[in-house]
Amino acid sequence: MTSTLKISLTSDQKQQKTFTPVTSAKQYMKYLQSLEEEAPTYTIPETVLVTFGASAMERFLARHEAKTTKIIRRLHIIDDGKLGIIGDFGIGAPAMIHRLEELIALGVKRFILVGLAGSLSYELKIGDYAICTEALSEDGVGHLYMPEGETVSLATPSLVQDWSQYIEKKHPQHPKFHHVKTWSFPVIFRESQEDIARVKAEGCRTVEMEVAALYAIAKEKNIDALAIFLISDSLADNVWDPKLKNLSTKEQLTQLTELAMYFVRERM
């Protein structure tokens, strides 16, 4: 028995997405803005880096000056408002999607996710890098932003191209970025051998928890999104080999986040 997550919608919701939300992120952000006692002294950036975990944020912010914001918890502004970075808000698509909705409501046009992923392929070793071009949505959230019948969400093609060209021209000595399809799944401890075999047959070479939802909301909201990974663990042998907490992994992830920052500075 596989553990594929299924969430039911009515037939109208599936076919037409005709359900009407009782609130919206824009309405919520207007409410929060009404509570601010003073006018904000920061500019909400058009591009935001999305990270996960306190360690990644702490290591990055220790090296780069940033301003905090009251309206979005854990959002830090750098480069005088050109770029933001958000993280340490939990893991998984449900935690992430609320932050993305809020940021989009404030005017963010572009997200670059910098995170960890598990390898499902012998070709991807721990410590390797990947750029995610498409994501199989089994995360419990992505389907809410996707048309009925669609199960795969895509990165913004222009961002994939821009990132690849940037690395080739500016950082030719950097290790290769493998182009991968990922499996977005919500519960680490329910990843089964049967499901892994199934998604590998569909072309998935990595597993994580958030990217399908990121790409789905980006398409639905008409914004841009890209995810880049550091391979931090492996399930290629159907046995978990974790290196998520290793110091070398933490440092590589910090450097990858910095690389994304330099990319935005030059290309955005």
Question: For residue 19, what pLDDT band results from cuts at 50, 70 and 90?
Answer: low
Whether 245 has a pLDDT exceeding 70, the answer reads yes
User: Whole-number mean pLDDT of the chain?
Assistant: 91
Q: Whole-prediction pTM value?
A: 0.91
pLDDT digits (tens, 9 = 90+) for 57-88: 888 999 999 998 888 888 999 988 899 999 98
Question: For residue 17, what pLDDT band results from cuts at 50, 70 and 90?
Answer: low
Whether 180 has a pLDDT exceeding 90, the answer reads yes
CB atoms within 10 A of CB 254: 21
Amino acid at 176: K
Give me the pLDDT at residue 33, please.
Answer: 85
CATH architecture of the domain with range 41-267: 3-Layer(aba) Sandwich (3.40)
Whether 144 has a pLDDT exceeding 90, the answer reads yes
In the chain, the largest separation of any two C-alpha atoms, in whole Å, equals: 56
CA dist 143 and 145 (Å) reads: 5
63 secondary structure, DSSP code: T
Cβ atoms 50, 214 nearer than 8 A:
yes
* Chain length of the chain: 268
- Where are the chain's structural domains? 41-267
The tokens for 40 are 């904000």
Amino acid at 108: V
Task: Measure Cα distances from 214 to 34, 92, 125, 140, 161 in Å.
Answer: 28, 11, 25, 12, 18
CB atoms within 10 A of CB 71: 15
